[in-house]
């Protein structure tokens, strides 16, 4: 157990978190001894959340493949030969069935993803219908549909959308090496539309795309200094899909990935930090350290859009072994 003296010492060391996080401050967090960093992150986590609770989200691809973008990590791009088959937009009935199953299995948030550069208005009308139907089941709703045009975020909010996901992916410096068909500013513009519409923001990035630690610092700097910072921060460990330009990327060191989780927790203390893609390749012990570092949300279910996710029964077993509860309300 963390004693009160340790808590006070770490609180005294922390910068006032309402101030902007500088590059140097974030870099200093990354360079702390591993156990010191985990203790500091765990203290921040316990100040803001129940210590042993994890929120479950389920992600479903409501429209798969055929995306015109060239995101180097994505198997749904038409530019890469990955074996992903194009599929039309699901029916509302099929989405509702998937949401009902997710709820029965313990998910409290249902996320709908579509492989578009951005939705056309006629498609958005159909997605809005899905959102309303899922919301009526008593689930939180999230959508990731690409770039939004004026008025589209408001339409989603009126339909009952709670969160909109649009990741920054990586640092501003590395971004152009990963994607050329949309700029990071395009992404930030969509996030501003989401904020202006009164929706909560889900925004994070991907680790393992050949970036340096400096890139990781820059990405956290970008996220933590948003005003306000995202309510939900997914940290993805790259799934290296055959046929994508990043299929040969070197895996990220486990300790470095856990550091990323810890730094996200410290710099964005009230955010839900989600352990997202790549969990199928993580050991139970690595995931446990991620939870200790402040991760308190996961994608639950056997699929993440088109790639495998950690086995759901294995997740249940891990939570039982760790004494972790899954709940809709993990806030103190």
Instruction: Point out the residues that are catalytic.
Output: 67, 71, 74, 111, 142, 202, 274
Question: Is the Cβ–Cβ distance between 299 and 54 less than 8 Å?
Answer: no
Q: Is the dihedral of CA 205, 293, 218, 12 positive or negative?
A: positive
Token couple for 104: 């029965």
Q: Taking Cα atoms as reference points, which of 218, 228, 148 lies closest to residue 189? A: 148
Token couple for 175: 């971004």
> CA dist 128 to 77, 107, 198, Å?
24, 21, 16
The H or E element containing residue 12 is helix 4-13
Distance (Å, whole) CA 301 – CA 306: 12
Distance (Å, whole) CA 200 – CA 206: 20
> CA dist 308 to 193, 210, 313, Å?
31, 22, 14
Q: Where are the beta strands (DSSP E) in 239-290?
A: 272-275
Token couple for 74: 């994505």
């Amino acid at each position: 157990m963390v004693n009160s003296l340790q808590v006070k010492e770490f609180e005294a060391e922390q910068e006032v978190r309402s101030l902007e996080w500088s590059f140097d401050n974030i870099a200093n967090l990354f360079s702390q001894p591993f156990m010191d960093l985990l203790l500091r992150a765990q203290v921040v986590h316990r100040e803001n959340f129940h210590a042993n609770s994890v929120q479950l989200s389920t992600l479903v691809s409501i429209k798969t493949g055929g995306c015109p973008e060239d995101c180097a990590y994505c198997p749904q791009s038409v530019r890469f030969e990955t074996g992903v088959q194009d599929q039309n937009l699901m029916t509302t009935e099929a989405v509702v069935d998937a949401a009902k199953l997710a709820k029965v299995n313990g998910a409290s948030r249902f996320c709908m993803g579509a492989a578009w550069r951005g939705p056309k208005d006629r498609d958005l009308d159909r997605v809005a219908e899905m959102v309303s139907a899922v919301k009526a089941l008593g689930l939180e709703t999230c959508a990731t549909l690409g770039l939004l045009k004026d008025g589209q975020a408001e339409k989603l909010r009126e339909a009952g959308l709670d969160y909109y996901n649009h990741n920054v992916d990586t640092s501003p410096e590395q971004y152009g090496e990963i994607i050329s068909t949309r700029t990071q500013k395009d992404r930030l513009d969509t996030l501003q539309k989401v904020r202006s519409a009164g929706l909560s923001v889900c925004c994070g990035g991907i680790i393992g795309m050949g970036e340096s630690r400096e890139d990781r610092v820059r990405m956290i700097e970008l996220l933590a200094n948003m005003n306000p910072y995202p309510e939900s921060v997914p940290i993805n460990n790259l799934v290296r899909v055959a046929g994508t330009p990043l299929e040969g990327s070197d895996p990220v060191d486990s300790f470095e990935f856990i550091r990323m989780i810890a730094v996200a927790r410290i710099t964005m203390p009230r955010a839900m930090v989600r352990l997202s893609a790549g969990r199928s390749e993580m050991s139970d012990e690595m995931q446990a350290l991620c939870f200790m570092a402040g991760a308190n949300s996961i994608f639950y279910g056997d699929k993440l859009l088109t790639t495998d996710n950690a086995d759901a029964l294995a997740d249940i077993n891990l939570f039982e072994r760790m004494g972790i509860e899954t709940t809709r309300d993990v806030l103190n």
